[in-house]
Amino acid sequence: MYILGIESSCDDTSVALLKCSPKGHIVLAEKTASQIDIHVKYGGVVPEIAGRLHAEKIVPLIEAVLKKQPKPEAIAVTSGPGLVTGLLVGVTAAQTLSFATNIPLISVNHLEGHIHSVELAPDGALGQSINQFPALCLVVSGGHTELILMKKHGDYQILGSTKDDAAGECFDKVAKLLHLPYPGGPQISKLAETGITSAIPFPRPMLDQNNFDFSFAGLKTSALYWLRNNKLSAERFNSITLPAGIYGQPQESPTINDFAASIEQAIIDVLVIKTLRAIDKYQPKTVILAGGVAANKKLRETLKKEIKLVAPPLAYCMDNGAMIAVAGYYYALKKKFTPWSELVVDPNWKIGAKKS
Ligand code: KG4
Ligand code: ZN
């Protein structure tokens, strides 16, 4: 079945055409326009600018992806959660296309898309289906940190989520304190490679609580206070060009690398420990790690040491239209379509719940 996937919930406009089947899926064409170069100037995603850039790119991307390809049999589009300015662009484009061509529409939850990114394989190869249930999914991105129990395709229960900042947001905000460019996750994890994880004893928030919720805002504040207490304003160092001792002497400890390694370890410890507790309680047959932070090598390796982990190829960790097409495929199989006139965006759509 040929499925067109459209994603525009944050700062990537992404469109993909997939050939999906029970044996796996092949990406026939995909195009993504990243807005990072623009948002980097502001240190984060600016919703108004994001909406305008999505609007500029969406039609040319759809046109490029569909060129010389078979006609899609369904259009899957992210309709929440995310930035309303971006969601509206993708959804309106999908509605228009559906109206003009009579191709049926599928409304996809962004997190459901991330979960299905594990079914993708790079370079035109066949991806492997999620077929052992229940599956426990840790979805970690710039906007989300959720532990989700997937009972089957289309059936989800949120076990826990962040009460404030997402894990990726914590990486990004700490990176901002260091004047590192957005998105900060990859920057912090690169610096952390040569740092000492125990150099600074950052807290492990909410580990003392017997639930599957997270909180990362306090961790960011601890990082800020630590820098302040050690008389380090962000202006004083630019870590990329100055991998010197934080106190100013070249190799004096803790270095910027130690700082990055310590904060990364704190985030990873919380994610891993809560995931292992959920595994203990729910005994899942599959454990999935997905979302932008799934690109973090240390997080993947730490989980892999403990359990058999299913994670997306690095190329599909970040937002992409292909994962939306895969999630949509399972609805198309059951003919669960939404008429174009009834498709609405819901910026706060919780996976597993009805849209508001
Ligand atoms: O899924 P995504 O592309 O967008 C959202 O839905 O939010 O995730 C982007 C997030 C950013 O916060 C970014 O810093 C984080 O993923 N990220 C990482 C890494 N690569 C991307 N965080 C930690 N380590 C990485 N290697
Ligand atoms: Zn995402």
The burial of 89, by beta-carbon neighbours within 10 Å (0-12 exposed, 13-18 middle, 19 or more buried), is given as buried
pLDDT given for residue 232 in this prediction:
57
Q: For residue 168, give the ligand 1 atom closest to its CA.
A: 12
Span 212-224, pLDDT tens digits: 999 999 999 999 9
How do strand 12-21 and strand 24-34 relate by DSSP bridges?
antiparallel
Q: Which ligand is the nearest neighbour of the Cα of 181?
A: 1
From CA 274, how far away is CA 211, in angstroms rounded? 8
- Ligand 2 centroid, distance to 163 Cα (angstroms): 18
Is the pLDDT score of 254 beyond 80? no
Q: For residue 11, give the ligand 1 atom closest to its CA.
A: 4
CA angle 64, 67, 73 (to 5 degrees): 105
From CA 143, how far away is CA 70, in angstroms rounded? 34
- Residue of 78, 318, 323 to test ligand 1 pocket, by largest number of atoms within 8 Å of CB: 318
Return the number of other C-beta atoms located less than 10 Å from residue 229's C-beta: 8
pLDDT given for residue 44 in this prediction:
80
pLDDT given for residue 83 in this prediction:
96
- Residue of 293, 320, 324 to test ligand 1 pocket, by largest number of atoms within 8 Å of CB: 293
Span 186-203, pLDDT tens digits: 999 999 999 999 989 999
Span 146-173, pLDDT tens digits: 999 999 999 999 999 999 999 999 999 9
- With a 6 Å cutoff on the Cβ, whether 171 touches ligand 1 is yes
Q: For residue 82, give the ligand 1 atom closest to its CA.
A: 6
Span 74-110, pLDDT tens digits: 999 999 999 999 999 999 999 999 999 999 999 999 9
pLDDT given for residue 134 in this prediction:
98
CB 254 within 8 A of CB 197: no
In three-state form (DSSP H/G/I as H, E/B as E, the rest C), the secondary structure along the chain is: CEEEEEECCCCEEEEEEEEEECCEEEEEEEEEEECHHHHHHHCCCCHHHHHHHHHHHHHHHHHHHHCCCCCCCEEEEEEECCCHHHHHHHHHHHHHHHHHHCCCEEEEEHHHHHHHHHHCCCCCCCCCCCCCCCEEEEEECCCCEEEEEEEECCEEEEEEEECCCCHHHHHHHHHHHCCCCCCHHHHHHHHHCCCCCCCCCCCCCCCCCCCCCECCHHHHHHHHHHHHHCCCCHHHCCCCCCCCECCCCCCCCCEHHHHHHHHHHHHHHHHHHHHHHHHHHHCCCEEEEECHHHHCHHHHHHHHHHCCEECCCHHHCCCCHHHHHHHHHHHHHCCCCCCHHHCCCCCCCCCCCCCC
Give the residue whose CA is nearest to atom 7 of ligand 1: 142
Is the pLDDT score of 119 beyond 50? yes
Report which of 34, 297, 40 is spatially closest to residue 179, judged by C-alpha positions.
40
- Residue of 141, 146, 316 to test ligand 1 pocket, by largest number of atoms within 8 Å of CB: 141
Residue recorded with tokens 């309106």? 92
**Average pLDDT score over the chain:** 92
- Ligand 2 centroid, distance to 144 Cα (angstroms): 8
Tokens, residue 272:
């891993």
- Percent pLDDT > 70 in the chain is 93
Tokens, residue 335:
């003919």
- With a 6 Å cutoff on the Cβ, whether 185 touches ligand 1 is yes
- With a 6 Å cutoff on the Cβ, whether 186 touches ligand 1 is yes
The burial of 250, by beta-carbon neighbours within 10 Å (0-12 exposed, 13-18 middle, 19 or more buried), is given as exposed
- Residue of 7, 12, 171 to test ligand 1 pocket, by largest number of atoms within 8 Å of CB: 171
**Cis amide bond preceding 312, omega within 30:** no
- With a 6 Å cutoff on the Cβ, whether 167 touches ligand 1 is no
